[in-house]
Structure 1
Amino acid sequence: MTSLPIIIDCDPGVDDAIALLLALASPKLDIRGVTVVCGNVPVSATSRNALQILELAGRSDIPVYAGCPRPLVVAPIYGQFHGVGGLGKTELPAPSHDVAPGHAVDFLIRQLEHALAADQQITICTLGPMTNIGVLLRMRPDLGPAIARIVSMGGAYREAGNRTMTSEFNMLADPHAASIVFSSDIPIVSISLDATHQVMATPERAQRFLPYKGRVGETVSAFLSHWDRNDPRRYGSRGGPMHDPLVTAFLIAPHLFETERARVFVEHSSPLCLGQTVADRYGKSGETPNVDIVTKVDAEGFFALLEEHLARYSPVEA
């Protein structure tokens, strides 16, 4: 089986950690590297968190590159549900390696240059603010053809925002970078709050992971327990939405998802609606549709997929 070459750009983050562990357990994905960005926590913390997650999974061979330490224009904001260090109260093993030398954007450029020279493409997964990718496309727009597509967690279309009335955190954290990315001609899959709020890690679902022993299984159980928002008025139940893991799940099992084609714009100048994602589903803008917006997710199918992949980690990990 040929594995899909991907680079994961992220800001770990509890749900980023689950997304990474899911991706690392799949033979369908060939992870060329992990790039990190300022997002849920500062880039120094996202770097360490990514290294710890790879160490936990026994994949310290995958390089981690530190990227942009702040958004392009706006002041940094940070996540509200990830704890001070970004991974809740969960203790992960100390990394045996440091971040790779060089900047994340330089690593992305090298990887895409190699792919272009070999007439190949790489899929980029964005789990956090799009700062690194926005800088990449400003520096080297000629490398767009080397990107098969960008699969992104971010935005809110029919759902209200989760950080402001209109905006989802990743888009709000760097709306200018997101606007650069969504204005490109690169195919994009957008997994927004419209999708992630369909996939809630309810207490009952979190209980299903308690039998998984070893550091990976116990860590995911702790993550899911920590992730409970306890806000049935907003979400319709207790639990927390599985934001970032849906990105890697989409690549592994696309049959679990339904999409709708649209052109997407990102607001980057309005104080009231900063970071709002606006979908043109009916051709009002005259712009060519460039985004597949995920509209429906098989939630039970996702949790079955997560269980199946967690079971691939050894239950006797020390």
Structure 2
Amino acid sequence: MRHAGRRGGAAVPPRRAGGIRPRSHGDGTQHRRRGRRVLRRAGRRAAARRRRDRRPGARLRGRRGRGRRRRLAARPRAPRRLRGDRVSRRPILVDCDTGIDDALALAYLLAEPAVEIVGVTTVSGNTDAARAAANTLSLFELAGVDDIPVAVGAHDFRGRAYAGGAPHVHGDDGIGGIALAAAARVHDARPAVELIDHLAARHPDLTVLALGPLTNLAAYAETPAAAAFERLVVMGGAFAHSGNVTAWAEANIHNDPEAAAVVFAQEWDTTLVPLDVTMSQTMDATDLVRLDAIAGALPRALAAMLPFYLDFYAGRVFADRRCALHDPLAAMVAAGVLRGVSVSSGQVEVRLERGERGRTVSSRGSSTQRWVRGMEGSAVEVLLERLESREWPD
């Protein structure tokens, strides 16, 4: 048998039969080195996961279920680039009842490079559906936009006839009484449901942004050819927050809860942006001064209508002169540009009985529905930066 010798100053253990040396643990150096290699590999894997979760369109992280808090990896991002210089923007159909905050949302979307408005349908709510279409066309004309179809949708709700909008909130014309000139262009001849169907077929990756009652979308859902949108974002509902019409009902859902119940029964990928988060994102008088300084006909019109909106909120809802950014915030969620959007998931249901009519509740059992609980950063800063970044016609 060969005896242990010296190799590089270290003892070499004797060989076993067959020429195999027994493993020597020595002073543990090899184990420490191996441990460090394992830790480095684990660190690289964790860093790769973090980079993946920051990518545009990253999936929601966290376990599903009632009460589970999850975070939507939403970072400011540039439009997706295809081959050459062509830019891919997210197509968005806006279904709205164009009042003051709807006007802000539309202006934001026109200035947001990550999205493209491919159509607008209107519904009664803040004002009647026909007036909402006229307001939208006038705003588009101020922005120099003449290629986005605008279709008039439902005038009456499912459960009741339309009985007037919210003139004390948005003015008799829905936009603060600023008397915009009528647009030269008229609304699309197609009914709203037909335009929705056309755009859903044309854009398989269509995002629908609902800023008013869900009457049009419920009618579309019941058509034989109704297809699932890639994503539906709804400004509406109140979960842990009190309502703004009754103690628990938010205005868009309260106006037509039967329609909301139909929409929430669909297997559509749906995100609600409720009062729980919109009431925490506001615009104040200082922000209005900044908006008023932006050159262009559309920013001037927005600055002219907003004092009416701020006056409604002052003293009634907020102690100082500020307004909630309901619809602009929902537009930002649809565009996917916000930081750290926290969401909860669950099947959304609407109460239809008297007393709790229009109340939204969330229960277990849905993998396609969620509602926004909070966000990082300031929505008004995102709004103003986008409006300032675009050159608007005079």
1:278 aligned to 361, 372, 386, which one?
Answer: 361
**Corresponding residue of 1:164:** 246
The alpha-carbon deviation at position 297 of structure 1 amounts to 2.8
1:212 aligned to 294, 310, 335, which one?
Answer: 294
SS of 1:244 mapped into structure 2: helix
**Corresponding residue of 2:143:** 57
In structure 2, the CA distance between the partners of 1:234 and 1:88, relative to structure 1 (3 Å rule), is: closer
Kindly indicate whether the alpha-carbon contact (under 8 Å) linking 2:282 and 2:322 is maintained by their aligned counterparts in 1: yes
SS of 2:92 mapped into structure 1: strand
Quote the RMSD (CA, aligned, Å): 1.8
The alpha-carbon deviation at position 236 of structure 1 amounts to 5.6
The alpha-carbon deviation at position 254 of structure 1 amounts to 3.2
How do residues 1-318 of structure 1 correspond to structure 2 at under 5 angstroms? 1-77=87-163, 78-79=165-166, 80-115=168-203, 120-140=204-224, 142-144=226-228, 147-228=229-310, 229-231=312-314, 234-235=317-318, 237-252=320-335, 253-255=337-339, 257-268=341-352, 270-280=353-363, 283=364, 287-298=365-376, 300=378, 302-314=379-391, 317-318=393-394
Query: Unaligned 5+ residue runs, structure 1?
Result: none
Code of the aligned partner of 1:137: A
In structure 2, the CA distance between the partners of 1:303 and 1:256, relative to structure 1 (3 Å rule), is: farther
Find the aligned partners of 1:233 and 1:94 in 2 and give their Cα distance.
33
Code of the aligned partner of 1:245: P
Render the CA deviation track for 1:37-93: whole Å, top value 9, x for unaligned.
111111121111111111111112111001111111223242240111110122334
In structure 2, the CA distance between the partners of 1:106 and 1:230, relative to structure 1 (3 Å rule), is: closer
In structure 2, the CA distance between the partners of 1:11 and 1:256, relative to structure 1 (3 Å rule), is: farther
The alpha-carbon deviation at position 25 of structure 1 amounts to 1.1
Find the aligned partners of 2:318 and 2:237 in 1 and give their Cα distance.
17
The alpha-carbon deviation at position 231 of structure 1 amounts to 4.0
The alpha-carbon deviation at position 142 of structure 1 amounts to 4.4
Find the aligned partners of 1:238 and 1:291 in 2 and give their Cα distance.
34
Code of the aligned partner of 1:109: D
Code of the aligned partner of 1:42: D
SS of 1:9 mapped into structure 2: strand
SS of 1:227 mapped into structure 2: helix
Find the aligned partners of 1:111 and 1:204 in 2 and give their Cα distance.
39
Taking structure 2 as the reference length, the TM-score comes to: 0.73
Find the aligned partners of 2:187 and 2:199 in 1 and give their Cα distance.
17
Count of matched residue positions in the alignment of Structure 1 and Structure 2: 304
Code of the aligned partner of 1:188: T
Code of the aligned partner of 2:262: I
Kindly indicate whether the alpha-carbon contact (under 8 Å) linking 1:199 and 1:299 is maintained by their aligned counterparts in 2: no
Taking structure 1 as the reference length, the TM-score comes to: 0.90
Code of the aligned partner of 2:325: M
The alpha-carbon deviation at position 217 of structure 1 amounts to 2.1
Kindly indicate whether the alpha-carbon contact (under 8 Å) linking 2:338 and 2:376 is maintained by their aligned counterparts in 1: no
SS of 2:187 mapped into structure 1: coil
Q: Percent identity?
A: 28
Kindly indicate whether the alpha-carbon contact (under 8 Å) linking 1:38 and 1:46 is maintained by their aligned counterparts in 2: yes
SS of 2:373 mapped into structure 1: strand
The alpha-carbon deviation at position 110 of structure 1 amounts to 1.8
The alpha-carbon deviation at position 262 of structure 1 amounts to 2.0
Kindly indicate whether the alpha-carbon contact (under 8 Å) linking 1:105 and 1:132 is maintained by their aligned counterparts in 2: yes
The alpha-carbon deviation at position 186 of structure 1 amounts to 0.3
Find the aligned partners of 1:142 and 1:101 in 2 and give their Cα distance.
20
Q: Which 4+ stretches in 1 moved above 6 angstroms?
A: none
In structure 2, the CA distance between the partners of 1:236 and 1:292, relative to structure 1 (3 Å rule), is: farther
